[in-house]
Amino acid sequence: MREESLTAIRAALEPDQRFYEDVVADDLTWQGNIFSAHLLDVALSDGSLGKREIVRHCGGAGVVAVDDEGRVCLVRQYRVAAGRMTVEIPAGKLDASEGAEICAARELAEETGLHAGRLEHLVSDCGSIGFTDEHTEVFLARDLVAGEADPDEGEFISALWIPLDDAVDFVLAGLIKDGKTVAGLLAAKVVLDRC
């Protein structure tokens, strides 16, 4: 069954001209420090034209840090866009020409003071693929060594350690909603259960 499913997924991901949208104009409408907004004119496969509002973003990296007791380190912070407190995995945006693994290690150390003896790629999360190219590469961190956190200026966060199994339950209960965190915690649970 797995081979059949893999074949079906690979076939579904192959280019298909029936669905293709050709960008014929790209109007940069706003440029910020973190992202840019674009209005695209696209030619559709049936010959008609359409418009797409797209956000371009440099991407980011996140870390599911799991200790020897099976606890995961999450960070609490206020997110003004959501208007509430959130619980998330340590994460941040990629600096210019920075690789995702380097970004993940840097963000883990800055936000929690933790250093990973091992970082393994877990999953790629495209948070809202309908309008943005933002993606977050999520890593599993193990063999953790504690140090001093050094968050960015204006970044107010605190670390929270809970069992990974509980974190997964909290995802399923809707208490943890952040996309990269949901994807990372669920992927970490599957990977660690297979070990």
Q: Which residues are catalytic?
A: 153
Q: Are strands 71-79 and 158-163 parallel, antiparallel or unpaired?
A: antiparallel
Give CA–CA dist 51/54, Å, rounded: 10
Nearest-CA neighbor of 92 among 43, 136, 145, 33? 136
Angstrom distance (rounded) from CA 6 to CA 113: 39
Q: What is the rounded CA–CA span in Å between residue 127 and residue 133?
A: 9
Alpha-carbon span 194 to 113, nearest angstrom: 28
